[in-house]
Every structure is written in structure tokens, then in C-alpha cells.
Homo-oligomer: A and B are copies of this chain.
Amino acid sequence: MIDATLAPDIGDIRQAAQRLDGVARLTPLLEAPQINEIAGRRVLVKAECLQRTGSFKFRGAWSRLSLLTEDELKRGAVAFSSGNHAQAVAHSAQLRGTPAVIIMPKDAPSAKIEATRGYRAEVILYDRDTESREEIGATLSEQRGLILVRPYDDRYVISGQGTIGLEVAHQARALNVDQADFIVCCSGGGLSSGVALAVEADAPGLRVRPAEPENFDDFGRSLIAGERVVNERMSGSIQDAILTPSPGDLTFPIGQRLFGPGFAVTDEEVLSAMALAWRWLRIVVEPGGAAALAAALFRKDTIDGDAVIVTASGGNVDRTIFERALTKLED
């Protein structure tokens, strides 16, 4: 019997890597001299926007859904998400042949809502400011017997995201980088805590630092406070993918033990990072997925060393936002 509420360890991540083998994509670790020049050091970019469903979330969703029993598969899965976890759970459920119900905020990018429906999931929309997605999810889970796939406070979801750390440990070494800050786009902390556990084991010279939107940097502020603090608002940034009220139950203790100081980046900085990634890395990054790159580019005085590693964690973005990013380029 598995227990998703337990804290994950490196063994869980290695097992997740086995379940993901041949299903998730081994994404490249990219580098461009023009980006390096702006950042003042080498910047290695883990392009998880190239992952199935367009974000790292596929790893966690598949990690969890690949463990469903025959009986659970008959009932189906439920998830709440602003979009990337939604698509990941929907597509993983589709591949597993089980139904999925996804609870999404009304103001989620339409591209994400549309894509989630495209994976054949039933989508339920809620109001981010007045309703609790956790409550809606718990109720549905109870009423219909659906398996709730939490976006970060789940041992197997964190383990799936952590497989990125295993890959980067190997890929960075091949590029002669073994001492560096590893800036990770951070919301509830599933990705960053999983990656931190992985690199602690396989690349101890790398140190995870969370990147969050300005005014929504609950994880960074919680690290300073020594206890979990809550964001005042839950909307008002284009970095929709990484807006959560506070660090998770499972993820915060890992962050306290392993993370370096966090970064808070503005929407304008993130748009510039998206434009530079478009031009010099030829990848499509969404606002929340560009927070780490923005930190590497625009907080360079608070980073040490010859190299930095960042996640480009997702690429599901509406056209209008992307066009706004492109206007940041000089020509």
C-alpha cells in the first residue's frame, strides 16, 4: 500500500525515474553564448517546456498515475491546477485509460484550458479569489471516489519532478559544470524540493534556489521567516503557473534543509527573459516558466560562480502575452 502523504527520499526519485523511462522525454540542457554574455556567466537551461504536455508537470503526474491500481483506474483521477498540472494529469490519465476531472481557475490562460479539454478531461472552472480549489477537489474526490492528484504535496509527484535533478546532474557534468546555483521556478515547491533531493545525492555541488513572482514569493519569505507565510493575494501576476498561497507541507521542510536564498522577479523581467529565450535558445517559455531565467539574467549580482543552472519549466502561453514579450526585443 502506497502512502502519498509521506516525505519522499532519493530512493523514491530513482524509482520514479524508472517508471518515467520511455514515457517522459529526456529534455536538453541548452546554452547560448548571447544569454551567457547578458548574464555574465554560463547559463544552462533545462528546457522542460519541451516535455510532454509542455511542462515538467507531466513527470509528477505520470509518476503518480503509473501507481494507480486496477480498481483506482476504474474510478479515475481529479486534480486542481492553473493549467500545467491540469494538462499533465489529463494526458497521463488519457494514456492510462482512466477518466480525469480537472478543476481550473476561471482566469487561467485559455490555451491551457483548451489544451486540457483536448486531452479529454472534464474541466470544472472556479474563482481563484473566492473559492478554494482544495475544497472543491476534496469534495469531488469523496463524492465520486476519484483519486486526488495533488500538485505538489504528494510523495510521488515530488519524486517525479525530482527526476529533472537526476538528469541535470548528469547533463551539467557533461558540460563541465559541477559547482553552481540551480535556480528553479517555484510555486508550492514540488519541483524545487524534488530537484534538491536529487542533486543532494547526485550532484552535491549544485544548490537549489527558488524563483518566484514579486509579491508572490511565499517560499522565499518563508525560508527567511523560518515558518510558512501566506501570500496576501492569489492573482495579479502573469506568472500564473507559479501562484500558490504558501509552501507545501512536504516541500517546506525539504526547502528549509536544502535551499539557498530565493529570488522574486517582476512580470516585466520575466517577459524579457521569454523574449531572450525565444531569440537565442529558440524555445517557447511561459511567464511562470521563465522566472528562473529572469533571476539569472537580472539578479546576477546575487549569484556566485562561473555558471548557473535554471529550469525553463513550462511553455504553455497565450499568444497575446507572448506578443507582449517579443516587444521587449530591440528590433
Residues of chain B with a CB closer than 8 A to A326's CB: 319, 322-323
Contacts known (A28-B28, A28-B50, A110-B331); A34 close to B118, Cβ less than 8 A? yes
Docked pose: A50 CA to B27 CA in angstroms: 11
A133 CB, nearest partner CB in chain B, Å = 24
Q: Which of A303-323 contact B (CB under 8 A)?
A: 315-316, 318-319, 322-323
Whose C-beta in chain B lies nearest to the C-beta of A286?
B282
Number of copies of this chain in the oligomer?
Answer: 2
A258 at the interface (CB under 8 A from B): no
B50 touching A111 by the CB < 8 A rule? Answer: no
B282 touching A54 by the CB < 8 A rule? Answer: yes
A283 at the interface (CB under 8 A from B): yes
Docked pose: A53 CA to B280 CA in angstroms: 8
Docked pose: A282 CA to B274 CA in angstroms: 12
Residues of chain B with a CB closer than 8 A to A22's CB: 174
A121 CB, nearest partner CB in chain B, Å = 13
Residues of chain B with a CB closer than 8 A to A281's CB: 50
- Identify A318's interface contact among B49, B54, B319, B331, CB under 8 A: B331
Docked pose: A30 CA to B48 CA in angstroms: 12
B-contact bits for A36-61, CB 8 A (1 contact / 0 none): 00000000000101100010000000
A290 CB, nearest partner CB in chain B, Å = 12
B-contact bits for A4-31, CB 8 A (1 contact / 0 none): 0000000000000000001001111010
- Identify A329's interface contact among B25, B280, B282, B319, CB under 8 A: B319
B-contact bits for A244-283, CB 8 A (1 contact / 0 none): 0000000000000000000000000000000000111111
Docked pose: A174 CA to B21 CA in angstroms: 11
A284 at the interface (CB under 8 A from B): yes
A313 CB, nearest partner CB in chain B, Å = 11
B50 touching A282 by the CB < 8 A rule? Answer: yes
A20 CB, nearest partner CB in chain B, Å = 14
Contacts known (A25-B28, A28-B28, A318-B331); A282 close to B323, Cβ less than 8 A? no
Docked pose: A115 CA to B316 CA in angstroms: 27
Docked pose: A323 CA to B283 CA in angstroms: 15
Extra A-B contacts (9), CB below 8 Å, given A50-B281, A111-B279, A318-B331 = A28-B50, A30-B50, A33-B118, A34-B115, A110-B331, A111-B331, A278-B284, A278-B322, A323-B323
Return 19 A-B CB contacts under 8 Å, by A number: A22-B174, A25-B28, A26-B28, A27-B28, A28-B28, A28-B50, A30-B50, A33-B118, A34-B115, A34-B118, A47-B50, A49-B282, A54-B282, A111-B331, A283-B284, A284-B284, A318-B331, A319-B326, A323-B323
Top 7 A-B pairs, shortest CB-CB distance: A282-B315, A282-B284, A49-B282, A319-B326, A54-B282, A278-B284, A319-B329
Interface positions of A (Cβ within 8 A of B):
22, 25-28, 30, 33-34, 47, 49-50, 54, 91, 110-111, 114-115, 118-119, 174, 278-285, 315-316, 318-319, 322-323, 326, 329, 331
